[in-house]
Amino acid sequence: WRSSATCKPWRLGRLLPRVWERCQPLSRKGIDRTVGQGQQVIMQEEQVLENLEMPLARKETETLFQEQPETGNQYLEDALLRSYLKTHLPPKVLEEVNQDLERFGNRLLTNIKHLGWECELNPPVFRQYDAWGQRVDHIVTCSAWRRMKEIAAEEGLIAEAYERRYSNWSRLHQAVKLYLFSSSSGGFSCPLAMTDGAAKVIESLGVPGSLKKAFGHLTSRDPKKFWTSGQWMTERRGGSDVANGTETVARKQPDGTYRLYGFKWFTSAADSDVALTLARVVDAEGQGKQGFSNLSLFFLKVRDEEGKLNNIQVQRLKDKLGTRQMATAELWLDGTKAELISAEGRGVASISNMLNITRIHNVIGAVASMRRMISLSREYARRRVAFGKLLKDHPLHMQTIARMEVQTRGAFLLLMEIVCLLGLVETNMASEQDQLLLRLLTPVAKLYTGKQASAVVVEAMESFGGQGYMEDTGLPVIVRDALVLSIWEGTTNILSLDVLRSLTKSQGQVMTVFFSTVQKKLELASSTAKLEPAVKQTQDAVSGLAQFMQAAGSGGAVTMELAARDFSYTLARIYAGTLLIEHAARPDASSTDISAARRWCSHELCPVATALENSSYEAEEVLMDSALVYEGSPACGSRL
């Protein structure tokens, strides 16, 4: 692993035979020599061996021949981000946002990045009892984590979206800052996602008087006033199936407040100041309806004015694969005081705004992790020498990174699209078509970028060879933390079914909007000769999708459920490809913009049509799926 002028590991194979030749005559003649001569021979042999070992003994003072990749200001080094902002932001807004992002990029490099690493090295600790046996249930976080909270307030990472200094562009400004912050945040992006979601719910309710103070804290730029929010939805019986999985009950008190009783199985950001949670309202006898119709949304403070827990018991902290920097806990709510903030029985409907926000944050995290790993990979390729030349001079290595880059570009533009749509909706500038498109693209982008991130970060880790597997490089942290992105806020299958719900609820209008939007963007790019192949491939994919929609209409619910995942992937690939084409059709587009669009569109854009042709969605395939999965299993006989 180390190199020096005195010894190079790859020369040992040639050096050792020479040493043996030099020692061999001494050994052969040693039996005829005197004792003194024998000792001299031994000393000479030891000296030879010592000479060989000395460079290895000095290894701690020599430099690694694998140099650490160093990146600079993330904003200045992100060409796609800068070109996107230049294209879309009004000149005055661009000037101010550009200055803020460059300043923030420098702060990330000089101040925030090392705090993020401290958060990784010092995860939260649960102290259940004090020295005298009193139960305290204290979650101890490190100083770097607490400093991250202050920085989030100072930078307006939540406030920016709600102050609306730049009208509909404010949400874009916030999203870009979160994108830059994500990989250096030490996991603090997660509580920010839930805080943003809570603020959005309160805003959507019209900021009622009882929540005005809380909204001010959640959107404050003052570190002393800023609050973060948890999101306590998951219980022991399930995650996404909240209708059947929520056991927590709420009992109304004479003063109009409620007391909550139940067990929350997975509570992220358990050290937050406040939380939103679902519960079933029950009467004095403890009776209440089941299903969605009796789930209500509640707001609660985690601690009272004296700093004591609000009748909450912390059972334990979760031992997670990743996002270890953040405290995730199991909690007993034993008479926790809370405020009903939705209409009774309208809890699930009330959190839809929150889910949109947290899913978009998930996309931000996915794209940020991909961008970070590629930035490190490309810098490492400029420093690492293998087989006589730098990695960047090996065509196959650069092809591999370029393929990851294309994936990241498509994901980035998909993120920017939904953020811009959200900005229009929040400022009452969105058309009905914009709203439908946002409803469709949010779950599509979340599910697809989550899967992309898992694949890209693992591939990028491989580009470092063995160093990528070493904990102290920080690379495994990025990989671990990225793996949650396809799970949190709905797994791929759950979100695929949500995509189908958007079709049903809009009576198919959402697909009409999808097709028309894609067609308009392609028409604007059709005059660019170099993009003709990409445009043609995307149009063919759109035709294949339309044919699938027509065929699936006669296939029934089973066909659509079986196709849900491939259908969602198809929407993501076609729309991202269209966005890449649109970006490459700009007058000042670069050759790399054109290449990225062409490369993306050269891959299969419509997997759902291919699977339909292969009869993958026929009813009998359901039985065969089970047969394949359970063949040889003890369950086989009972299931088939």
Parse the chain into domains and list their residue ranges.
79-219, 229-347, 508-628
275 contacts 302 by C-beta, under 8 angstroms: yes
What are 220's two structure tokens? 């404050």
H or E element in which residue 448 lies: helix 432-462
The neighbouring-strand residues paired with 249 are 261, 280
Positions in the chain short of pLDDT 70: 1-65, 238-239, 289-293, 636-640
**What pLDDT was estimated at residue 352?**
87
pLDDT at 22: 41
Q: Would the pTM of this model clear 0.75, i.e. be above it? A: yes
Query: Which tokens sit at 435?
Result: 């709203």
The C-alpha atoms of residue 541 and residue 604 are separated, in whole angstroms, by: 8
Report CA dihedral (149, 151, 153, 155) to the nearest 10 degrees.
Answer: -150
Helix pair 532-553, 556-584: axis angle to 10 deg: 160
Please report the pLDDT score of residue 64 as a whole number. 52
Q: What pLDDT sits at residue 90?
A: 98
Q: What is residue 525's predicted lDDT score, i.e. its pLDDT?
A: 94
Task: Name the 3-class secondary structure at 234.
Answer: strand
Write down the pLDDT at residue 619.
87
CATH class for the domain made up of 229-347: mainly beta
Mind listing the pLDDT tens digit for each residue in 387-434?
Answer: 999 999 999 999 999 999 999 999 999 999 999 999 999 999 999 999
Determine the 3-state secondary structure of 543 from DSSP. Answer: helix
What is the number of alpha carbons within 13 Å of residue 505 lying toward its C-beta?
9
Q: Is 286 left (phi over 0), alpha (psi -120 to 50) or beta?
A: left
Please state, in angstroms and rounded to a whole number, the distance separating the CA atoms of residues 81 and 416: 9
Report the distance separating Cα 405 and Cα 374, nearest Å.
7
How far is it, in rounded angstroms, from Cα 521 to Cα 124?
Answer: 48
